[in-house]
Amino acid sequence: MTRILYGLSGEGSGHSSRSRQMARHLEYLGHDVRLASYDRGYRNLKDDFNVFEIEGLTIASSDNKVSNIRTVTQNVKRLKRGWQRLRALKQEIFKEFEPEVVITDFEPMTAYLAHHYDIPLLTIDNQHRMRYMKYECPPGLKMDQKLTKGIIRAMVPRPDASLVTTFYQGKVTNDRTYLFPPIVRDEVIAMESTDSGHLLVYLTSGYETLLDYLKQFQRERFIVYGYDREDEDENLQFKPPSKQGFLDDLASSKAVIATAGFTLISEALYLKKPYLAMPMTGQYEQQLNGFWLDTLKLGSNAPVINTETIGNFLYRLPEFNARLGETTSEGNLLIQQKLEELMQDHGKQMKEHHARRKKKKWAGILEDDSAKSTQL
């Protein structure tokens, strides 16, 4: 048994969805797991796991665009409580629980404390593909690429090993990074993919512009989530939040229209649903996801949404379905196997990674220096 602290970002539902799968597997193997998160991550997991509530960063948006002013304002308000929770985390978890390994899904507080207490650090996320994997950058976004890589490095300074999920492949830049297919919830894996003729629309915040465009396609039926509504407006059917209801509508849809978040894209691709991605302006990762969806012909990228974009997506559905029919997925088996290897014997392999990492640091070897490609 290994004592494990698993920190995860509370922004959105993707981090908690992914962490639930991995934490559940770790507990099944007999490890002692404590989680640390905030906001939605804390709320999604607190009833099923031992979760320590911390404070973290959030992103504010409006009409599918990041609002820089609101983002800064909201996070400044969190500073006092964030300091209080940091002190509590150090005392109750790092000094009393004494984790042998720290895992982070893009949560900086636990990552920095792992450093401070000299504890092996493992990342499990999709963000590190933008740090440790070579890939084609979308045109015109080189500066965003560099900035994003710098942010990731600042959020998680020096991981000892990284399990990276991605739906497109590239060469890794070191020998401690491992690539895997996206982590998919058990509930999604259990679903049978059918086609009931509707398109699933998911919006994380108000996006009235899109709704106006969708009404112009009267032959199509759109089931819309993300609004606090339960009614119909012409060809739009609004539904309230429902985990099972959403999954049912996803599995029975003929396609998905949504922002370009990694988790929903991953679940849609697993169920072989063409995806019209609307990257949030100001979020490089979403722009990258949309670009690669389009490049792989698994869906369309729509940085600017209009009736022409939607119409073109609908026209190309047979093409996308044919391409999706050629894809295969092995679920979570490979990443779970690797995680099991790293955690066994009180995290023996992670401690070995940690020791090698420290030697490289002392030798002055840069963390992103190229090494042999390690892909699974």
Q: Which domain holds residue 59?
A: 3-183+332-362
Do 195 and 297 lie in one domain? The reply is yes
Do 128 and 270 lie in one domain? The reply is no
For residue 338, is it within any domain?
yes
Do 152 and 194 lie in one domain? The reply is no
Instruction: Tell me the β-bridge partners of 172.
Output: 133
pLDDT tens for 106-164 read 999 999 999 999 999 999 999 999 999 999 999 999 999 999 999 999 999 899 999 99
For residue 172, is it within any domain?
yes
Do 171 and 66 lie in one domain? The reply is yes
DSSP letter (8 states) at residue 63: T
Q: Of the given ranges (73-87, 135-149, 202-216, 310-324), which has the lowest mean pLDDT?
A: 73-87
Residue given tokens 């691709």 in the structure block: 269
CA-wise closest residue to 327 among 296, 302, 294, 301: 296
For every residue of 167-209, DSSP letters joined together read: SS---BSSTTEEEEPPP--HHHHTPPP---S-EEEE-SS--HH
Give the pLDDT score at 83: 67
For residue 65, is it within any domain?
yes
For residue 208, is it within any domain?
yes
For residue 315, is it within any domain?
yes
Do 22 and 77 lie in one domain? The reply is yes
Cβ(126)–Cβ(182) below 8 Å: yes
Judged by DSSP in three states, 369 sits in: coil
Answer yes or no: is pLDDT of 66 > 50.
no
Under the banding of pLDDT at 50, 70 and 90, the label for residue 366 is low
For residue 25, is it within any domain?
yes
Instruction: Tell me the β-bridge partners of 51.
Output: 35
pLDDT tens for 266-292 read 999 999 999 999 998 889 999 999 999
For residue 368, is it within any domain?
no
Do 68 and 198 lie in one domain? The reply is no
Query: For the chain, how many structural domains are there in total?
Result: 2
Give the pLDDT score at 65: 53
Do 204 and 321 lie in one domain? The reply is yes
Give the pLDDT score at 205: 61
Helix (H) or strand (E) holding 87: helix 79-89
For residue 371, is it within any domain?
no
CATH number, domain containing residue 28: 3.40.50.2000
Mean pLDDT of 314-324: 98
Alpha-carbon gap, residue 98 to 92, rounded angstroms: 9
Alpha-carbon gap, residue 255 to 225, rounded angstroms: 14
Which residues in 73-108 are b (16+ Cβ under 10 Å) and which e?
A: eebeebeeebeebeeebeeebbeebebbbbbbbbbb
Do 33 and 151 lie in one domain? The reply is yes
Residue 207 carries which side chain, given as an amino acid letter?
A: Y
Residue 163 carries which side chain, given as an amino acid letter?
A: L
Q: Cβ–Cβ contacts within 10 Å for residue 268, how many?
A: 27
Do 212 and 358 lie in one domain? The reply is no
Instruction: Tell me the β-bridge partners of 177.
Output: 162
Q: Are strands 236-238 and 232-233 parallel, antiparallel or unpaired?
A: antiparallel
The percent of residues in the chain predicted with pLDDT above 70, rounded, is 89
Do 72 and 9 lie in one domain? The reply is yes
Do 251 and 122 lie in one domain? The reply is no
Give the pLDDT score at 75: 43
Cβ(354)–Cβ(158) below 8 Å: no
Do 170 and 192 lie in one domain? The reply is no
